[in-house]
Chains A and B, each alone.
Chain A
Amino acid sequence: MGTKILTVDDSRVMLRIISSAIERLGYQPVIAKNGAVALELLEEQGEEIALVLLDWNMPVMNGLDTLKAIRAQERFQDLPVMMVTTESERTNVLEAIRAGARHYLTKPFSPEDLVIRMMECLGLGDQL
């Protein structure tokens, strides 16, 4: 099982907020500014990554395309991926789930929401 959580988001503030929550969880945050970078990182350190948090709206390669690219690879079939969307992108949630997202989180979310949702993605929901 990996010890890192990869966050893919183009917002610096968002990356920091999420990273700080990841640290609280005792995981090591890894960040990528867009989907393309995320795929490279996964290529290198895939086995160490326990969870991927994907923002929906990103330049270069959006969240859904990134998710599809991840799922297209045999070795990442079971890698938990959580989509982070905004309230206005609600319908995207369904699309993401169909494409194989493990879970989703809609913005705005509280720090508690984020921590709990990450734990659920990691199957640690019963420790809550």
Chain B
Amino acid sequence: MSDLDLELVEEFVVESRELLEAAESDLLALDLSQGAPGQEVVNRIFRAVHSVKGAAGFFGLEVIGVLAHRLESVLMKVRDGQLAPTSQMVDVLLQANDRLRGLLEDIQASNGEDVSAHLAALDPFLGEGGSPPAPPAPPAPAVTAPAPQGQGGGSFAGWSVPAALAAEIKRHGRHLFGLTVDPSRDLIGQGRTAAALIEDVSDLGELLHSTYDEATPGGSFALVVSTVLDLDFAVEGFALPRDAIQDLLRASVVAPAPPAAPPPLPKAAPAAAPPNASAVAASPAAAKASPAAAKASSDGGSGAQVETKSTVSDTIRIKTTVLNALMEMAGELVLARNRLLRTLADKTDQIEGLGPVLSQVSSITTEVQEQIMRTRLQPVGTLFGRFNRVVRDLTHKLGKEVNLETVGADVELDRTILEGLADPLTHLLRNSLDHGIEMPEERVAAGKVRFGTIQISAQHEGGMVNITIKDDGGGIDVQRILLKAMERGLLTEEQADRMSDREGLQLIFLPGFSTAKVVTDVSGRGVGMDVVRTNIEKLGGNVDLASTHGVGTTVTLKLPLTLAIVSSLIVTAGGQHFALPQVGLQEVIRIVPGQGHEAIEEVRGASVLRHRGTLLPIVRLDEVLDIAPTFVDPQTGARRSDRRQRIADRRQSSKPRTLEEKKLAEQRAPGDRRESLASVQRILVLKVGKNRFGLLVDQIVDNEEIVVKPVSRFVRSAPCFSGATILGDGTISMILDPLGISTHAKLRFDLTKDKAVARPKGAQGPQGEIFSLILLSNHTDETFALPLTQVGRIEKIRRDEIRRIGDREYLSYRETTLPLVRLEQHLRVKAPATEPVEYFVVIPNLRGQQIGLLTTQVLDAVEVKLQVHQGSVPSRGIFGSAVLDDRIVLLLDIVQLAQLSSADGEVRPLLEGITPPLRVVLVEASPTTRLIQRTALQRAGALVTVAEDVEAATALLKRGGVDALILDGELPNQPAEVLLSDLRADESLARLPVILTTSHLPEDEEDSVGRFAARAAKLDIERLVERLITFAEERR
């Protein structure tokens, strides 16, 4: 490496890296199209390797040169059809390609590297022990191949080439062509005379000889010409068909063929180079040129005008630093434009022509910015392309069979984002391959096709790009995750019990989590999804995971298109301006008090907005940022602090500013303060992950393209901001971070899950303490709750529909008469303060006595984390009390309430008459369910012993004297069927009546657990009792 120029070398490394990377995907394509490789693909690989080899020679990189040369030799055979690519060959080629790339990583050391293994692996494809190693570089021209001799003295149309001329032509690297001209085709057909043809030829070369052959029908010309042009150019330049031009000498050793088929090394040329004509015919560029020439001929135009299609894309290489600088300047331009527009906004009337100029400047600026932004965009396909290799290698290694599908490869993303995406995506893909897709036999056994499918797709959605990795593998076993998390001490058992499947899945994102049963060298080394999530979030995106055990897993990454310029809403709070990126902004709600039905309410201590059937938590921007709320005094125009605390009854007043406010102000009578538009509230509905919340702001000022400026590290820890920007008026403004705000405001989405109120049967986590309840109230400070599974219907009725018979109330409902129950009649609770016009009737799922619970308010159907007061002694009609968001909720015993409201009002144990009382052991993971079951069974007259777990229960049972076991059929990690058969293995328990309880029970599955066992829904107390009675009777 004598005169090694660092910059050049660097350039060489960058370029070679790209070439070889592209070659890799082409090699993979070669593998897929085995036997019939596209010539184009082979040529591309050949060209890439050839370029690397050639440039390596410049820098004296011998080892790289030798390896590239050997690789090239094999590729040449493939290109020339002497070798058909096999999977095994592609493997070897890929390895050699890898090695080359490895060598490029440290080219200084590359000459000391040993590549003999790779050379040896390539040799068998070359036959006869392979070709001798090529000279790494042409050290001096003198050493290169001697001029090919051969058919130096050929003859054409009776004219033989003098040896001296042949030598002269060779010396100057010229060609000697014999042209056969068909006058009707080449002259008359093209509207040119013989003289014009001779002029065309003389312009481009030296005419040495011409004859006219009368013997040929129609006569024909023969011309001999010497030119520097190669055959391709001659076809174009002379406007003659290819077969009319004959090369009278051997091909020049450096025939500048199109890049599609670079010539072989000079030294190899005499032996290996095919005659020029055939070599050219093999190249697609030449194939293209030929019809082009033919077209020119028929057009009668001059050959020089023929436009050949370029095989080199018209791209240039630009340093990213230049692009970044351009990007930055475009950003500044946008800011300057914004300021210009603002400054001159009032002047458009005064200065003629200013308006159009301003709008033109504005639109051009936008365009400039967009175009520059586009230079940073790259199709995700460049990334997806790499994955073929990952999949190919891993499937081989793991012995799996996997199809990789890519969709939306042309979707574009900012380069920076794309770069940051490579590792996380690769990791996800490896996960899918290693943990997701099962072994072929397993798949077949599970009734799936042998081939697993992984689909990577990209699509635009709402200004962002979604990238999903979806596999049809085994999915994720939530139970195993919970177990693992407990093992790792990431989770207590109690916490695990309370988790829903969805929450359980999220554990995967905890640091240091991996569920691989066996740590393979593919994945499962503890660096996992947490890193993926961190990386994606750094890019301004987020990750979502969905999985169904046995069916497959889908990971969705949401990513912004670009990081630099963000379309934002400028809002104010407490007199300060903030920018809110429009990503994630779903809608803007305007609430004018007294108009429409929407209003902010206080529910369980939190501000919420009932909006389209869901409860939306509301955050007040000034509150979350701890800015003193202000309003503009309507009289003085001065800004004053707003002392009103509640959003719900806030009647802030301010001078109308926006157009919309002005319009509204004109419609209203002045002085109507309560109705004044100042009390209009603006709520921005933001989506954060799966959750939504409303951000209450004072004003929405404008819509601006803002340029994100990173903030100093002192501010970086501020949770509610993601950056800063300069607004159109030149002021600096912070950029709001919705995720940070929702976290900082401690929003509890679990209380206000987007869930329709009318959802009769709640899906409750199998073992979680997340409980689906319906909350009722009588407009008093007491709240009542009923498990959703116990609720059949909720009807809204008018007061006048209630019929009174004696001191009882009834409702005509579906051709029956439904006794109505007022809670205050049976429970020690307050009656509604006023008699409302409308009531809600809650009709429970009861098997016996039907009743309707009369309440004045259905608060919500919610999934809540319930903390049951175990200590409280249950009173009539109530199982107990639970604390929900600092408020006491009474859990209703609907069975007892039904009895209380029956004709005689007597509460009779359901198991009445069974003596001695049944002794029942109860195993139930959920404390709330356990409480309900225990209390209800006790009230029914059973003696209930609660066992902590199955082991404790078994111990109790073995002591004897137990009549039945009520067993939670959804215990974490303990399949009910397994527990049951374990139990039955003990002879003394073989005939023990067992009731397996499940959250909800499809009708047809009621009895499928064999003799002495039955299933029941957990909260279907009547069914539980019914089963117990049946068992008791059977036993007698």
- Which residues of A does B touch, CB under 8 Å? 13, 16-17, 20, 24-25, 86-88, 90-91, 93-95, 97-98, 102-106, 108-113, 115-117, 119-121, 123-128
Contact = CB atoms under 8 A, between A and B. Distances in A.
B398 interface: no
Given A13-B11, A111-B58, A126-B171, A93 B229 contact: yes
Nearest to B256: A106
Contact of B253 (A24, A93, A98, A128): A128
Interface string B48-62: 001101110110000
28 contacts: A13-B8, A16-B8, A17-B58, A20-B3, A87-B312, A90-B310, A91-B307, A91-B308, A93-B229, A94-B303, A97-B203, A97-B204, A97-B205, A106-B256, A110-B50, A110-B51, A110-B262, A112-B144, A112-B266, A119-B141, A120-B171, A120-B173, A120-B254, A124-B171, A126-B171, A127-B141, A128-B147, A128-B266
B314 interface: yes
Nearest to A120: B173
Contact of A127 (B5, B53, B142): B142
Interface in B111-158: 137-138, 140-142, 144-147
Contacts of A120: 171-174, 252, 254
Contacts of B228: 97, 102-104
Contacts of B138: 24, 111-112, 115
B314 A88 contact: yes
B54 A112 contact: yes
B749 interface: no
A69 B794 CA distance: 95
Interface string B884-916: 000000000000000000000000000000000
Contact of A116 (B5, B173, B303, B314): B173
B346 to A, nearest CB: 44
Nearest to B306: A91
B259 A87 contact: yes
Contacts of B254: 112-113, 116-117, 120
A93 B233 contact: yes
A5 to B, nearest CB: 13
B304 A94 contact: yes
B656 interface: no
Contacts of B872: none
A111 B811 CA distance: 98
A108 B257 CA distance: 10
Nearest to A101: B228
Given A113-B263, A120-B252, A123-B172, 16 more contacts: A13-B7, A13-B8, A20-B3, A24-B140, A86-B312, A87-B285, A93-B229, A94-B233, A94-B237, A97-B237, A108-B312, A124-B141, A126-B167, A126-B171, A128-B141, A128-B253
Given A111-B54, A117-B256, A128-B145, A91 B167 contact: no
Contact of A126 (B57, B147, B262): B147
A76 to B, nearest CB: 18
B173 A98 contact: no
A123 B171 contact: yes
Given A125-B170, A127-B141, A87 B253 contact: no
B236 interface: yes
B311 interface: yes
Given A104-B228, A116-B141, A109 B171 contact: no
B995 interface: no
Interface string B214-239: 00000000000001110011001100
Nearest to A12: B7
A112 B308 contact: no
